[in-house]
Amino acid sequence: MSLLNKQQLDQLASAVSKVEEKTDAELVTVLAHASDSYHYIPTLYAALIALLTPGVLSFSPLWLGWFELIIVQALVFSVLALVFRIPALRYRLVPAKVKKSRAEMMARRMFLEQGLHHTKGETGILIFVSEAEHYVEILVDRGISEKIDNKVWQNIVNDFTAEVKAGAVLKGFETCIASVAEVVSDVVPATEEKNELPDRLVVL
């Protein structure tokens, strides 16, 4: 299910089109619900807690035989594995470094899959958002990176990330696109009419 409705998607596509009228840069926007399913996380945490169950029960006045203990461990594992699959809880259990790593890999994969490394003049720009990880990244090809310092993009990313954390994905995208336009229109102005890549928001 899309995180934005059709009107909002069309709104962003229009914003991208307007940017590309003022610059030779090719801008692609990608919105992912998550960069990984993290399905192994519920199983891992449930298994660890189940393994610790005998130690916890050893402090209890209740005596359990080996068979009963195995049953309890199985129940603990089964219940927690199901509970931890709830998306809101599952994403909280994922270590921050793992989420960042998965999102970074997805962003680079999208840069290649969307053909941003094959644009004329190497002027591809990717605005990538992965909502579950609250991750935002702007990737640019060599024709842009040689002219604009990475610190410029990081400032835009920081503002966008704050919007994503607040749940304002649409507002964040609009502000980000406007900021990117302001930066690239002066450095890589339009010299010819072209549109090598689709302007629509790619939703994963």
Total of domains in the chain: 2
Q: Do 110 and 65 share a structural domain?
A: no
Mean pLDDT to the nearest integer, 161-184: 86
Q: Are 153 and 122 in contact (CB under 8 A)?
A: no
Is residue 23 one of the residues assigned to a domain?
yes
Q: How far apart are CA 73 and CA 194, in angstroms?
A: 63
Q: Are 84 and 41 in contact (CB under 8 A)?
A: yes
Q: Do 80 and 56 share a structural domain?
A: yes
> What tens digit of pLDDT does each residue of 11-45 get?
888 888 888 888 888 888 998 989 998 888 888 88
pLDDT score of 108 = 94
Mean pLDDT to the nearest integer, 105-122: 89
Confidence of residue 1 (pLDDT cuts 50, 70, 90): very low
Of 74, 93, 112, which residue constitutes the final position of a domain? 93
Range of the domain at 125: 6-36+96-203
Of 93, 113, 128, which residue constitutes the final position of a domain? 93
Q: Do 23 and 68 share a structural domain?
A: no
Is residue 84 one of the residues assigned to a domain?
yes
Q: What is the pTM of this model?
A: 0.81
Q: Are 105 and 93 in contact (CB under 8 A)?
A: no
Is residue 73 one of the residues assigned to a domain?
yes
Rounded to 10 deg, the angle between the 169-187 and 150-165 helix axes is 170
